[in-house]
Amino acid sequence: MKKYILIVLTSSFLSLNFLAQELNCQVKINYSQIQGSVNKQIFDQLEKSIFEFMNNTNKWTNNVYNVQEKIDCSLLIIVDQQRGTEDYSGSIQVITERPVYKSSYKTQNLNIQDDYFQFKFQQFTVLDFNLNKFDNNLTSVLAFYAYVIIATDADSFAPLGGTEYWQKAQLVVQNAQGASETGWQSGQNERNRYWLVENTLQPVFKGIRDCLYEYSRKGLDIMYEKPDEGRANILKALDLLRPVYRSRPSSYNMQQFFNAKRDELVNIFKGTPVSPEEKTKALEVLSLVDPASTTKYSKIQE
């Protein structure tokens, strides 16, 4: 009898582990900008449906994630236009956080603002996704960002660790090439979903992925025990962005990297016990690779 109970408990534990999806995704929908009367119930259900889709409906990888290993992320969807009873447009902001080793601190890995978000949604619709085809824009955009979230997280833990998931995000893009909605095609805009993944997988942008790994594993993850060495390694990691900037100045991918890291970098290098030499070097490299934010980085010298 005891052996039977042990087998049942073990099986249940393994099942729970297997069913533990990869994401801990919070979802918020803001529809206050829509003119006229609004059916609140539709947006309440949409919010719940997206939450289920991201966290429970789909298993995005073949890996087993424990509950504490889930990737913390959030989606803020702003719906600013209702084109019909089931047709909406607006924007989606994607933010992810990664825990820092031996610390309660979490670092942003992504902070993407996507202004090309159109979708259709009927009340009581169950959201579903097939990686091998384009069914609708809503689930394709959500799946695309699920893979981007996982890919970026994996890149921060192992050199080029997210390649498999970047390739899956690229497959979502490829399947959406015939979509009428914007954000998927190369010729529409250089700062969209197509170019985010296309650039990432090109050798010229490898420095961004290498930088994220070095910054995370050899920089932030050792700062609890070796703060000086951690800061020094972050400076070395930033040097990896120099050739990317020389080849592709002001690229969408560089913009996304600094959207997530800009404020954090200022906080890492300003104040004490950072040496004047470190401050000067940090300001020099950051002003070079992210020149639009030089004013912000000048706070490092304070």
Task: Give the confidence band of 284 by pLDDT, cuts at 50, 70, 90.
Answer: very high
- Decide: 21 and 70 in contact? Cβ < 8 Å: yes
Among the residue ranges 82-86, 145-149, 282-286, the one predicted with the least confidence is 82-86
Q: Is residue 143 part of a domain?
A: no
* Geometric angle at alpha carbon 288, from 201 and 261, rounded to 5°: 60
Helical ranges in the chain per DSSP H: 2-19, 40-52, 137-157, 163-175, 193-200, 206-213, 227-239, 242-247, 252-269, 276-289, 294-297
Instruction: With a cut of 50, say whether residue 72 has pLDDT above it.
Output: yes
In the predicted model, is pLDDT for residue 172 greater than 90? yes
Distance CA 46, CA 102 (A): 37
Can you give the pLDDT at residue 20?
59
Is pLDDT above 80 for 96? yes
- Percentage with pLDDT > 90 across the chain: 85
CA-angle at 205, arms to 199 and 206, nearest 5°: 125
Strands 106-120 and 71-82: unpaired
| Domain boundaries, position 284 | 205-302
Mean pLDDT of the residues in the chain? 92
In this structure, which amino acid lies at residue 140? S
**Secondary structure class of 78 (helix, strand, coil):** strand
- What pLDDT shows up at residue 202? 98
Average of pLDDT values for 41-58? 95
Q: Is the pLDDT of residue 203 over 60?
A: yes
Q: Do the domain assignments include residue 22?
A: no
Residue 133 belongs to some domain of the structure: no
Question: Can you tell me the mean pLDDT for 175-188?
Answer: 96
Whether residue 196 is contained in a domain is answered as no
> Is residue 198, in this structure, part of any structural domain at all?
no
Asked if the structure places residue 89 within a domain, the reply is: no
Q: Is the pTM of this model over 0.85?
A: yes
Which comes out higher in pLDDT, residue 175 or 37? Answer: 175
Distance, in Å, from the CA atom of 240 to the CA atom of 244, rounded to the nearest integer, reads 8
Give the chain's domain count.
1
Sequence-ordered list of residues with C-beta below 8 angstroms from that of 135, at least 6 positions apart, any chain? 128, 129
| Best CA proximity match to 77, nearest among 27, 127, 32, 111 | 27
Residue 39 CB contacts under 8 Å (≥ 6 apart), including other chains: 123
- Residue 245, in any domain of the structure: yes
Instruction: Tell me if 298 is assigned to some domain.
Output: yes
pLDDT > 70 in the chain, percent: 93
Lowest-confidence pick of 12-26, 29-43, 66-80, 88-102: 12-26
pLDDT at position 9 over 50 = no
